[in-house]
Amino acid sequence: MKEVIKKFRLPVNEGCKKMKAKYVNISITEDLAKKIDEHLEKAKEGYRSRAEFISEAIRQRLGIIKSKKNKI
């Protein structure tokens, strides 16, 4: 059985406040989307949407990758 893929729009240029953000689509599995939704229902972090949660997770991961590269 083929798994349904969910698509979300994420801002491309979040660092620039004066420019209107442009968005791209990404795909995640339906299972992962459900796990995120379950977390957001229970969490107290106050994310407004799945996309906001995913954007923050990606920013954090990129920060980790960057700090590892700087240690080499």
Over residues 27-69, the pLDDT tens digits come to: 999 999 999 999 999 987 788 899 999 999 999 999 999 998 8
Q: Answer yes or no: are the C-beta atoms of 51 and 8 closer than 8 Å.
A: yes
**pTM assigned to the model:** 0.64
Q: How confident is the model at residue 2 (pLDDT cuts 50, 70, 90)?
A: low
Q: Roughly how many angstroms between the first and final C-alpha of the chain, as a whole number?
A: 44
The token pair at 57 is 């997770």
- Percent helix, strand, coil in the chain, to 5, is 50, 20, 30
Name residue 31's amino acid: D
| Helix ranges restricted to H, 1-72 | 30-42, 50-71
Taking the domains of the chain in order of start, what are their residue ranges? Answer: 5-71
